[in-house]
Amino acid sequence: MDDNIQGAAWNGNAAAKGMDEALGRVLEWSRQQAFKGHNKHDGLNSPILRTLLGWGRWPRLVAIQSVMRFPVNPRTLLLVPRTYNPKGLALFSQGFLDLYRARRNPEHLQESERLLSLLLDLRAPGAWSGDCWGYPYPWQDLGFYAPANMPNAVVTSFVCEAFLDAYRETGKARYLETVASAVNFFLEDLPVLRDTPGELCLAYMPVPMRMRVLDVSILVGAVLAQYAAFSGSDQCALAASRLVRYVVSLQTDYGAWYYTDPPQDSPIRHDNYHTGFILDALARYMTASSDREWGQAYRSGLDFYAAELFNHDGSPRWMSDRDFPHDVHGAAQGILTFSRHRADFPGLADRIAAWTLRNLYDGKGRFYYQQTRYFTKRFTLLRWCNAWMARALAAQQRAREASNADRDLELCTGTEQ
């Protein structure tokens, strides 16, 4: 690992240089893999496990959880193929786009758009109402089973965010048209789990299910609000408001959200990255809609996220009541969220990035999966590790460049306080 990525003195120009060098190497290593890799829940992509355990709910759960929790990566031995993950490609695309915004290197924009073109080729097959995307593996959860490539709300929302970002930057109509198509999938294909005049809750995917996963509705709501701002769709604006209202209404009096409604439907409680998902989606909704009704809820959520889901050294807690494992996805999400709030939470995004580079980075372009209490899982799941950290470090670089530009303006105009 480079000298400027080591040690306790992590600040100023040396820190920024170390983060930027890491980002460049992560993107290059990922490019060398053709942006294909293994995935956290892809155990049933193993022909061995699919034959032995792919025939029922509990055997499938055992297969997926065993592969996911193994201390080393067994996927190659189990013949699990490396695949494109649409969510990962969307994250890489946004990372390249943020780099373009920060540095105006046209190659970064070209890389971003190339990945968007690839995403169009990876749309979920089937007679859906609009464009949609899913995971490239069969997936058994406690509340549902999804075959490989079954579209779902979360993956489709993240892909839409990449197309919305590209539309903002380029103005190319085809990007907004893709989002318009996905809106039909959200509003016509996803089961409705709650429907009142003021609130709306959508299911994770278009299969019979009752589990209400909170980040699903607000992720979709954020996409609908942004699409409504561009298109003028009153239907989407109203649906967005109802989706967001449903989720915000379930915030606890101490600023947190459970993973599901009701909370006992999942063993996940106040976890790290889903909290970040909700906060970032709420921020995108408020920006797109100019609706500040939930500004206080957002601030309360930020305070909880910073105080209860990150340790003082920047390491990401697994849940508010459970420290380990320290997961790279949680670290990336924290960098993303708090890079937008450098003034309100000074140094927090940089501290999280510093911890991650010291503890979960190999120095050559790979981020590791997790640090447990006793050992580190030193393997790379491309979407979970590199895609998320590329997205986070690029957003951090963009925020830093914007902050430096603002400071330069203050110095030039004599307005520095």
Q: CATH number, domain at 366?
A: 1.50.10.20
Looking at the predicted structure, is the pLDDT value of residue 307 above 60? yes
Exposed/middle/buried for 283, CB within 10 Å: 0-12, 13-18, 19+?
A: middle
- Residue 13 falls inside a structural domain: no
- Residue 3 falls inside a structural domain: no
Ranking 47-61, 272-286, 296-310 by mean pLDDT, the lowest is 47-61
* Tally of domains in the chain: 1
- Residue 9 falls inside a structural domain: no
- Residue 207 falls inside a structural domain: yes
Mind listing the pLDDT tens digit for each residue in 78-98? 999 999 999 999 999 999 999
Looking at the predicted structure, is the pLDDT value of residue 277 above 60? yes
pLDDT band at 144; cut points 50, 70, 90: confident
Both tokens of 135, joined, read 């995971």
Question: What is the span of the domain harbouring residue 313?
Answer: 22-413
For 255, list phi and psi in degrees, rounded to 5: 95, 10
Q: What is the mean pLDDT of residues 363-386?
A: 97
Quote the pLDDT of residue 413. 31
- Residue 57 falls inside a structural domain: yes
- Residue 12 falls inside a structural domain: no
Q: What is the mean pLDDT of residues 382-397?
A: 97
The Cα-based distances of 123 to 116, 135, 179, 375 in angstroms read: 11, 10, 12, 38
Looking at the predicted structure, is the pLDDT value of residue 360 above 90? yes
pLDDT band at 141; cut points 50, 70, 90: confident
The residue behind tokens 């379930």 is 250
Q: What is the DSSP string of 266-317?
A: -S--SBHHHHHHHHHHHHHHHHHH---TTHHHHHHHHHHHHHHSB-TTSPBP
Quote the pLDDT of residue 401. 84
Quote the pLDDT of residue 402. 81
- Residue 6 falls inside a structural domain: no
The residue behind tokens 């996905």 is 182
What is the model's pTM? 0.93
Quote the pLDDT of residue 404. 58
Looking at the predicted structure, is the pLDDT value of residue 13 above 50? yes
- Residue 15 falls inside a structural domain: no
Q: What is the mean pLDDT of residues 55-72?
A: 94
